[in-house]
Structure 1
Amino acid sequence: MEAMNDVRDEATWKRWRSVADLYHAVFTGLVLTAVTRRGTPDAAEFVFRIFRRQQQERFIAGLGKLGLSHLPPAVAAAQYHYLSNWIGGVSVEYMYENDRKAWIRYPPPRWIWRGTAICGIPGEVSRAMLRGWHANNGVALGNLRLGFVCTKQSVDGQDGLEGYYCEYDHDLEIDQRLVFARHLEAPPFDPAKAPALPVDSWPKSRLEKAYRNYAMEYVRTAAPVAVQLFGPDDAGYLLRLTGKLIGMQYYDEVAASFGMARGDATTFVEFFTALLAAQDDEFGIDKSAGSIAVQQKTWKLMDGVTDAHPACAELLRGLVEGLAAGCGRNIPVTMTAERNGARPFTWVIG
């Protein structure tokens, strides 16, 4: 029985990781779509707002969850970035220098700009990420002496993104909280000296779910930010287009992790409901009308997002349309939404 449970757990975790890969691609795609359709300044503002929002929602609470709240500010900030990114499968390094100076480094390949995507990310967009999160950690901690010094950026052709948190002897102005020192080099990384999660409170099952949720959180944040920044019509177009492009590109990869392949509408319904289950969404299937209707009863991705505009659902519409196109030619998908209803979406397939 225990062996059967282990096999079942491994299959579930494999699906969770595939969901993470899909949403990781969606997020990177959203940034690239903003770069190509709206230009670098708009894309940079988009990324800044995403990371500032995540920082305000996640940083302080995350310090507590990771057991870091008692550490000196520079050390706590660096260890937070090391552990939280490690949980999400990001390649990251941490180097302690002293209580007022601690390094983090993201060596190649960069997780966030996966594969060839890094070639389409301007330096301004990468800097916006640092402005949004790293430069604001001192403010969040109530310590205006804490800033971030960036020494390298991958998108500028350097061998990774790296820098250090520094607690100065004086309060920092806004433009001093992120500075660049390209002439400096991070010290070597020693894994034996890096922080580790307590095994008792972070078992394998929790780590696997956190790995999945890490990637999904980026999309959960990005969709409402896009709508608030660009407006419902423009954002809805960008969200749907990105979702469709990524769905078409990633169907084969995700389906393979589910033990499925390409096929017809029936195949796609089987795949789509498996995807919903892997996202912890509830659903029902109705075949009474001569076609197959999947009634998606929850959309956990947007649960609790108080400013989620209906246009955010265009991302989901596009993603499902793209996945259907990847599954097989001429698989029609129609989505209807019931606002304030028990079933947020009904999908008619085939």
Structure 2
Amino acid sequence: MYLSTQDYSERTKRALNFFFAHDNSTRFVIIRRHGWEAARNLECYFLKKHQETHFIDGATKLGIMNEPHPVLCAKYHCLSNWLGGIDMGFYDDYRNSGKAYVSYMTPDCSIGSPFLPSPATWTVPMEMMIAIYTWHARNGKFLNNDRLYFCLTDHVQAGGPYHMGYFAEDDHALEPWERLRFEPGTATIEPGPPPDLSDEWPLARREAALEKYNGEYVLGGFAQTALMLGEDESIAIAERSHFANVVQWVRPFTVDLGWTGDTPATRYADLFCKIWGLIGDKFDVHTENGDVFVENTKTRLYTPQYVGWEYPPRRLEEAFARAWTAASRAVGPGVEVSVVKSRMDGDGHTIWRFRQTDHSAFIGGPGEYDAVVTHARELMTNYWEKDPVVASVL
């Protein structure tokens, strides 16, 4: 068995840790508010949009369009996800069996990132994870091949050592539901390393591609959520998702990335710039009457395939600002973060303001946590003197 072939810099690994976690945070907020079926549907439609935008173009850039379709697809998913920071495997058995295998190796990134192992991966239902492979099963549509299918043979959430499946062609045209199959435990091959990339993909280019990948996933996820659940709900999800990620990372990043400044506002603004700078965002910073103004002169948050969400809408930026405001108390006194100007309002660049207010802000709408009081009372009433009753297994 080969081991990881990833050679990214520590800076890029930090970016992966933060922005993969961001994507997963959104998934879990949706599960919390709408159930795993809604998260499954979002995953399916988001990847469908991503496929329509990038599949053929990406395969062309990778120089694999002349491969047999099963091999083309396995190489595409292996290399594109490897470029996206995931540890991948590949096995070409096309000449023997007509199959080409792609493997997503552990650590599974459906909870955190490819560099942060977590046993919590089993909290994600397999019924939801199958949505990811609808992309694989739709490749034939874009290749004009109605015999092409994808069969999933292993999956961590189904007790497998990694996520693996193969592409193959049947001897007749297939209905859509026949193009995605699940046959756990049937593969006997061992994943090999990803195919070699051409010399046109040095480390610097791969890291730049990864910056774009991270930015698109953050913004695209919220754009797709708005299409499915409405803009108001997408903004509410974004506020909670962004907060959940930021509040987990601000303390370790003060050490890993460092932060400078002589006031809480200047230090927090510096940390903000360094975290977003992990994906290549650029900022100009100036201070005025104790407030810190951060002008975002370049952003990787760009999804031209979503009308109205080409860049973050002002409402999304304001949701991010509320998240950073609430998280500020994790590293010092309360700092209020607000949006002064927004790129999507035609103001050129987005400008953020950081102001120390010593607030006690938190994330949540009116009445959102009222049920907690009821549950606390019930628990203290019912279990103060009583022991839990364990059902007999005899």
- Asked if TM exceeds 0.5, the reply is yes
The 1-side partners of 2:284 and 2:266 are apart by 15
Whether the 8 Å CA contact 2:214–2:279 is kept in 1: the answer is no
Could you give the per-residue CA deviations for residues 162-204 of structure 1, whole angstroms, max 9, x where no partner exists?
A: 111011111111101101112412401233xx41112x21112
Amino acid at match of 1:128: A
Pairwise mapping of residues 43-192 of structure 1 onto structure 2 (< 5 A)?
A: 43-99=39-95, 100-114=98-112, 115-131=118-134, 133-191=135-193
What percent of counterpart residues are identical? 24
The 1-side partners of 2:284 and 2:90 are apart by 46
The 2-side partners of 1:341 and 1:298 are apart by 13
State the number of aligned residues: 336
Tell me what 1:5 maps to.
Answer: none
Whether the 8 Å CA contact 2:283–2:294 is kept in 1: the answer is yes
Tell me what 2:196 maps to.
Answer: 196
Highest RCO, 1 vs 2 (Cα 8 Å, sep ≥ 6): 1
Please tell me the root mean square deviation across aligned C-alpha atoms, in Å. Answer: 2.5
User: How much has 1:160 moved relative to structure 2?
Assistant: 2.0
The 1-side partners of 2:228 and 2:291 are apart by 38
Whether the 8 Å CA contact 1:151–1:185 is kept in 2: the answer is yes
Q: Where do 5+ consecutive residues of structure 1 fail to align?
A: 1-9
User: How much has 1:322 moved relative to structure 2?
Assistant: 5.6
The 2-side partners of 1:212 and 1:341 are apart by 24
Amino acid at match of 1:84: S
Tell me what 1:3 maps to.
Answer: none
Could you give the per-residue CA deviations for residues 102-139 of structure 1, whole angstroms, max 9, x where no partner exists?
A: 111223321233324413311121011111x1111111
Distance 1:165 1:342, change over 3 A: same
Tell me what 2:352 maps to.
Answer: 346
Whether the 8 Å CA contact 1:239–1:314 is kept in 2: the answer is no
Pairwise mapping of residues 23-42 of structure 1 onto structure 2 (< 5 A)?
A: 23-42=19-38
The 1-side partners of 2:31 and 2:216 are apart by 21
The 2-side partners of 1:202 and 1:323 are apart by 38
Pairwise mapping of residues 215-230 of structure 1 onto structure 2 (< 5 A)?
A: 215-230=214-229
Could you give the per-residue CA deviations for residues 246-277 of structure 1, whole angstroms, max 9, x where no partner exists?
A: 10001133333323489822211222223344
Whether the 8 Å CA contact 1:265–1:349 is kept in 2: the answer is yes
Larger displacement relative to structure 2 (249-258 or 30-39): 249-258
Whether the 8 Å CA contact 2:87–2:105 is kept in 1: the answer is yes
Distance 1:318 1:79, change over 3 A: farther
The 2-side partners of 1:258 and 1:135 are apart by 41
Whether the 8 Å CA contact 1:147–1:166 is kept in 2: the answer is yes
Whether the 8 Å CA contact 1:245–1:322 is kept in 2: the answer is no
The 2-side partners of 1:287 and 1:172 are apart by 63
Distance 1:306 1:127, change over 3 A: closer
The 2-side partners of 1:254 and 1:336 are apart by 26
The 1-side partners of 2:162 and 2:249 are apart by 26
Distance 1:325 1:76, change over 3 A: farther
The 2-side partners of 1:266 and 1:293 are apart by 9
User: How much has 1:318 moved relative to structure 2?
Assistant: 5.0
The 2-side partners of 1:290 and 1:190 are apart by 56
Larger displacement relative to structure 2 (157-166 or 43-52): 157-166
Instruction: Find the residue that maps to 1:301 and give its secondary structure.
Output: coil
Distance 1:315 1:332, change over 3 A: closer
Whether the 8 Å CA contact 2:265–2:355 is kept in 1: the answer is yes
The 1-side partners of 2:196 and 2:139 are apart by 21
Tell me what 1:302 maps to.
Answer: 302
Tell me what 1:330 maps to.
Answer: 334
Larger displacement relative to structure 2 (141-150 or 92-101): 92-101
Whether the 8 Å CA contact 1:149–1:180 is kept in 2: the answer is yes
User: How much has 1:279 moved relative to structure 2?
Assistant: 3.3
Whether the 8 Å CA contact 1:95–1:104 is kept in 2: the answer is yes
Distance 1:340 1:186, change over 3 A: farther
Could you give the per-residue CA deviations for residues 215-234 of structure 1, whole angstroms, max 9, x where no partner exists?
A: 33322321100111111111
The 1-side partners of 2:251 and 2:47 are apart by 30
Q: Where do 5+ consecutive residues of structure 2 fail to align?
A: 1-6, 113-117, 357-394
The 2-side partners of 1:140 and 1:179 are apart by 19
The 2-side partners of 1:145 and 1:305 are apart by 29
Whether the 8 Å CA contact 1:21–1:215 is kept in 2: the answer is no
User: How much has 1:337 moved relative to structure 2?
Assistant: 4.1
The 2-side partners of 1:15 and 1:183 are apart by 37
The 1-side partners of 2:62 and 2:329 are apart by 41
Distance 1:258 1:237, change over 3 A: same
